[in-house]
C-alpha cells in the first residue's frame, strides 16, 4: 500500500507519514492511485454538499470550493500560476519559459489565472448545487487526477532530474491505460451529459499536451499540476452547461 500512501501524501493535506524513503518504482506506481485519491476528495465534497444542503447555495458553494482547495494544499493552483506567468513572460522561448517556472514568485498573470479559474469553479458549483447534482461532485477530482496518467504516458518529461523523471521512466504503462479507460467509463452513469463531458475532457488533455510540446517540448511538474486544475474546471463547467440541454 506504500504507493497509495505516497499519492495521498503528495496530492492532499491528509497527515500521512511514510516510514521509509520510497523507491523510484514506488513513486511511479503511486501514479496509479491518483484517481483513487481524486475519489476520496470527491467523496468529501459530496458529503459536505449532502449534509449541508440546507444552507444557502451561495454559502455552500463557497464552502465546497474552499475545502476543495484546502484538501490539495493549493499545490496544483501553484502550478497553474507558474505556467501562466511562464507562458506570457517566456515570450515563446523554451529555456526562458522553464526558468520562469522555477521562480517561486507569482506575477500578475499568475494571480489573474487563479482568480479566473476560481470564478469558473465557483459559478459552476453554484449551478450544480442549485440543480442538486451532488453525486457529480465526485467526478471532477477523479478526472483531474487522470491528467497526470495521460501526460506521463504520452509525453516526455523535460527536466532530467527529480521525481517526474523517475515516474516517467518507471510508470506501469499497461495498468495506467486500464485505469484511465475504466475511470472514463464511469462517465456513462451520467448519460449523454457524462459521455460528452468525457469527450471534452479528452480534447482538453490533447490540447494541453499540444501546447506543452509546442512551447517546452514536453511536460514538467508545474504543467502537470496546472493540467489537473484546468481539466477539473473545464469538465465541471462543461458538465453544468450540458445539463441545461441534456438529461443527466
Q: What is the pLDDT along the chain (248 residues), one digit of tens a residue?
A: 888 999 999 899 988 888 878 888 888 999 999 999 999 999 999 999 999 999 999 999 999 999 999 999 988 999 999 999 999 888 778 888 888 888 777 888 999 999 999 999 999 999 999 999 999 999 999 999 999 999 999 999 998 776 777 788 889 999 999 999 999 999 999 999 999 999 999 999 999 999 999 999 999 989 999 999 999 999 999 999 999 999 87
Sign of CA dihedral 180, 181, 183, 188: positive
In a domain, 188, yes or no: yes
CB atoms inside a 10 Å sphere around CB 71? 18
In a domain, 247, yes or no: no
In a domain, 69, yes or no: yes
In a domain, 163, yes or no: yes
Q: Containing domain of residue 28, as a range?
A: 2-242
The reported pTM is 0.94
In a domain, 248, yes or no: no
Residues 6+ apart with CB under 8 A from 198: 184, 187
Which pLDDT belongs to residue 155? 92
Which pLDDT belongs to residue 107? 85
Which pLDDT belongs to residue 162? 67
Number of domains in the chain: 1
> What is the longest distance spanned by two Cα atoms in the chain?
52
CB 108 within 8 A of CB 19: no
Q: Provide the Cα torsion 124, 128, 131, 132; round to 10°.
A: -160
Q: What is the residue-wise DSSP string for the chain?
A: -HHHHHHHHHHS-S----SSPPPHHHHHHGGGGHHHHHHHHHHHHHHHHHHTTTS-HHHHHHHHHHHHHHHHTTHHHHHHHHHHHHHHHTTT-HHHHHHHHH-----HHHHHHHHHHHHHHHHHHHHHHHTT-GGGGGHHHHHHTTHHHHHHHHS-BS-SSSHHHHHHHH--HHHHHHHHHHHHHGGGGGHHHHHHHHHHHHHHHHHHHHHHHHHHSSB-HHHHHHHHHHHHHHHHHHHHHHTTTS--
In a domain, 83, yes or no: yes
Amino acid at each position: 500500500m506504500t504507493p497509495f500512501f505516497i499519492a495521498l501524501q503528495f496530492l492532499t493535506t491528509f497527515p500521512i507519514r511514510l516510514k521509509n524513503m520510497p523507491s523510484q518504482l514506488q513513486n511511479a506506481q503511486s501514479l496509479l492511485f491518483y484517481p483513487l485519491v481524486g475519489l476520496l476528495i470527491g467523496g468529501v465534497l459530496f458529503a459536505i454538499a449532502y449534509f449541508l444542503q440546507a444552507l444557502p447555495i451561495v454559502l455552500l458553494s463557497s464552502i465546497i470550493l474552499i475545502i476543495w482547495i484546502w484538501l490539495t494544499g493549493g499545490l496544483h493552483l501553484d502550478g497553474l500560476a507558474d505556467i501562466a506567468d511562464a507562458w506570457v513572460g517566456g515570450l515563446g522561448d523554451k529555456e526562458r519559459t522553464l526558468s520562469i517556472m522555477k521562480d517561486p514568485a507569482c506575477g500578475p498573470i499568475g494571480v489573474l489565472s487563479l482568480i479566473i479559474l476560481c470564478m469558473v469553479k465557483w459559478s459552476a458549483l453554484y449551478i450544480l448545487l442549485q440543480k442538486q447534482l451532488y453525486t457529480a461532485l465526485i467526478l471532477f477530482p477523479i478526472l483531474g487526477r487522470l491528467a497526470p496518467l495521460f501526460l506521463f504516458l504520452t509525453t516526455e518529461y523535460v527536466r532530467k532530474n527529480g521525481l517526474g523523471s523517475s515516474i516517467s521512466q518507471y510508470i506501469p504503462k499497461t495498468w495506467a491505460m486500464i485505469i484511465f479507460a475504466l475511470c472514463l467509463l464511469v462517465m456513462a452513469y451520467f448519460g449523454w451529459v457524462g459521455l460528452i463531458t468525457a469527450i471534452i475532457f479528452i480534447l482538453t488533455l490533447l490540447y494541453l499536451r499540444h501546447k506543452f510540446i509546442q512551447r517546452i517540448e514536453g511536460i514538467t511538474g508545474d504543467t502537470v499540476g496546472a493540467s489537473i486544475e484546468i481539466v477539473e474546471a473545464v469538465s465541471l463547467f462543461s458538465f453544468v452547461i450540458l445539463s441545461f440541454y441534456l438529461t443527466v
